[in-house]
């Protein structure tokens, strides 16, 4: 794919309690040429420690691991290494897990049986700052009845409907622009939208705001 690992490649840490899964994922991803596995973790605690020491671009995180699970590890990685994105790669395609992962700061959620090309594309998109959510799972999460948005997320989406810029929203709700962006990003992930305007429209259509 052009880029040699190490020369501008996207640096990855793989976190999964099954060594065979880590090995298979790593081998598939490194075939892409622009992806490089720089570390492997067998549990959430190791994943957090590796993220702190290696500062990878993306951590591919399983959910069900011994000790600290993938959700808590995601939260810890995002707090400790804001520049590192987290992509959840799991066998368990459950709407509840999707919500918890996005709330913890994950940028994407895909299932392990996704084709290698799709997984590699998800890594690239997450690295580029985009949200990636398995479409079927996003739909299930949207239609399971409960409003997934927090009060703050509902508030900033309502103001987004007015066409206000982030700075205007921040002034209205007495939060920093960065905090408002975090709330908007979380809301975008929960709705499966492409941007904050679309997220606000979808949330209004669902009766969430």
For residue range 24-64, what is the model confidence (pLDDT) as tens digits?
A: 999 999 999 899 999 999 999 999 999 999 999 999 999 98
Domain with CATH 1.10.10.10 in the chain: 151-204
Taking the C-alpha atoms of residue 108 and residue 85, their distance in angstroms, rounded to an integer, is 9
Q: What's residue 2's pLDDT?
A: 40
How high is the mean pLDDT of the chain? 88
Q: What's residue 146's pLDDT?
A: 66
Q: Does the pTM of the predicted model rise above 0.75?
A: no
Residue 2 neighbours by CB distance under 10 Å: 8
Residue 112: is its pLDDT beyond 90?
Answer: no
Supply the DSSP string of 89-146, one letter for each residue: EES---HHHHHHHHHHT-SEEEETTS-HHHHHHHHHHHHTT--EE-HHHHHHHHTSSS
Q: What's residue 76's pLDDT?
A: 97
Higher pLDDT, 133 or 37: 37
Chain center to CA of 44: 16
Distances, alpha carbon 167 to alpha carbons 155, 172, 178, in Å:
14, 9, 9
Domain with CATH 3.40.50.2300 in the chain: 10-142
pLDDT band at 3 (very low <50, low <70, confident <90, very high): very low
Q: What is the mean pLDDT of residues 159-170?
A: 93
Residue 144: is its pLDDT beyond 90?
Answer: no
Q: What is the mean pLDDT of residues 168-185?
A: 94
CATH ID of 151-204, from 3.40.50.720, 3.30.413.10, 1.10.10.10, 3.40.50.300: 1.10.10.10
SS3 assignment, position 172: helix
The CATH number given to 10-142 is: 3.40.50.2300
Q: What is the mean pLDDT of residues 12-22?
A: 95
């Amino acid at each position: 794919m052009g880029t040699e690992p190490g020369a501008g490649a996207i640096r990855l840490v793989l976190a999964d309690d099954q060594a065979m899964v880590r090995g298979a994922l790593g081998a598939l991803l490194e075939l892409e040429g622009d992806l490089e596995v720089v570390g492997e973790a067998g549990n959430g605690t190791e994943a957090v420690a590796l993220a702190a020491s290696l500062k990878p671009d993306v951590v591919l995180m399983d959910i069900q691991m011994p000790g600290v699970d993938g959700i808590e590890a995601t939260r810890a990685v995002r707090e400790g290494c804001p520049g590192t994105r987290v992509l959840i790669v799991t066998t368990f395609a459950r709407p509840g897990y999707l919500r918890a992962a996005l709330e913890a700061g994950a940028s994407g959620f895909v299932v392990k049986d996704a084709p290698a090309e799709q997984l590699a594309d998800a890594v690239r998109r997450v690295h580029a700052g985009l949200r990636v959510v398995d479409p079927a799972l996003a739909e299930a999460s949207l239609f399971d009845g409960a409003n997934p948005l927090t009060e703050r997320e509902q508030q900033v989406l309502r103001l987004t409907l007015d066409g206000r810029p982030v700075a205007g929203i921040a002034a209205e709700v007495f939060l920093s622009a960065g905090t408002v962006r975090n709330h908007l990003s979380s809301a975008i992930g929960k709705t499966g939208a492409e941007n904050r305007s679309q997220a606000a429209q979808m949330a209004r259509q669902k009766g969430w705001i």
